[in-house]
Amino acid sequence: MGKAERDSDGQIAALKKVAEQFAVAVTPHIQAQIDPSDPKDPLARQFLPDAAELEIHDHERDDPIGDAAHSPVAGIVHRYPDRVLLKLVNVCPVYCRFCFRREMVGPGSKGLNADQLDAAIDYIATHPAIWEVILTGGDPLIVSPRRLKEVIAKLNAIPHLGVIRIHSRVPVVDPARINDEMIDALQASDKPVWLLLHANHAREFVGEAEAAIKKLVLAGVPMLGQSVLLRGVNDDAATLTALMRGFVECRIKPYYLHHGDLAPGTAHLRTTIAEGQALMRAIRGNVSGLCQPDYVLDIPGGYGKAPIGPEYLSEDSSINRTADGEASAESRYRVMDYCGDVHTYPPKP
């Protein structure tokens, strides 16, 4: 056996171990978009298993954003006062290699049964401070339109709810699911139903995916976009710009750019925060404000999201004094423009 054959056998064995530990699935639509001749293909990097996933670091966590600490009943995560997550299912049409719930999702993972769903809905109904419900999972759009319509109807009947939000990758990874029945289910609520689309590279907005997004937008479904900053996928200014412009050209407002969570086996895909801040500074001013997401970190342990973009404003250390030596009543700040030049505010006379 030659060295190439031994290396190949070793790689196959490693990938089998990855598949034993973490769920693997790729839709035919995504398979058709991956360029097998490109070893650095950004879609392959997102969806195809990598032996590097077997490298688990001590600081990585099975529940990196602390869902369990805020789960009063099955399927509910109540981290913020006015909104809850409703984790309807634990399966997805594809499994992202950087998924922060990778220890909890996959084939065989059960979603909420009828009694658990009723208990989750009852929790929402008995907590009037909850204004927004976010359907997540897994991917909630993997369920049948009939079931989705039933869940939306239950939520629509809760008087104090103001909005229903759905987080999904389906329009770009399995666009055939966005059919007339699914559109009808999304329109079956008196309350506004917002769809937050997860995409990480401009190549995801192609062909059938672009058509599915257009169908949603023309049906009046308001859409926002979220992405994860990923090494080798979107961690340079040109690629990140193309991604954010791709959202906007599809009539989707970029909402969040997530720093990679500390999920097991994902270190090879995480950037540093400093690299993320530099990228956000690079696209500030040079790219339309429509294309600017909030760069956020989900604080490990369940403490919520924090904006971690670059700072542009600081207090001026030189305090102006009046003629009698008293401090001026008006504070002065140093503010950096998008070119990196520093100015004072209010401007010095």
For the chain, how big is the Rg over CA atoms in Å? 23
83 is catalytic: yes
pTM for this model (two decimals): 0.91
> Three-state SS for 135?
strand
Beta pairing class for 313-315 and 76-80: unpaired
Give the type of residue at 66: G
Choice among 17, 61, 80, 214 that is catalytic: 80
Please state, in angstroms and rounded to a whole number, the distance separating the CA atoms of residues 111 and 105.
Answer: 9
pLDDT per residue as tens, the chain (349 positions): 554 444 566 788 989 999 999 999 999 999 999 999 998 999 999 999 999 999 999 999 999 999 999 999 999 999 999 999 999 999 999 999 999 999 889 887 878 999 999 999 999 999 999 999 999 989 999 999 999 999 999 999 999 999 999 999 999 999 999 999 999 999 999 999 999 999 999 999 999 999 999 999 999 999 999 999 999 999 999 999 999 999 999 999 999 999 999 999 999 999 999 999 999 999 998 999 999 999 999 999 999 999 999 999 988 876 555 556 555 556 789 999 989 899 999 887 6
99 is catalytic: yes
Choice among 41, 87, 92, 174 that is catalytic: 92
Choice among 79, 149, 169, 245 that is catalytic: 79
Which ranges of the chain would DSSP assign to H, the alpha helix? 3-21, 28-33, 42-47, 114-125, 145-156, 170-173, 180-186, 207-218, 237-249, 273-283
Sheet containing strand 342-345, edge to edge, reads 313-315, 333-336, 342-345
97 is catalytic: no
305 is catalytic: yes
Choice among 41, 63, 87, 96 that is catalytic: 96
CA dihedral 279, 284, 289, 293 (to 10 degrees): 30
96 is catalytic: yes
Residue with the two structure tokens 């309350």:
191
Please state, in angstroms and rounded to a whole number, the distance separating the CA atoms of residues 164 and 155.
Answer: 8
101 is catalytic: yes
**What does the pLDDT read at residue 4?**
45
Choice among 41, 50, 67, 99 that is catalytic: 99
Choice among 41, 50, 63, 83 that is catalytic: 83
298 is catalytic: yes
80 is catalytic: yes
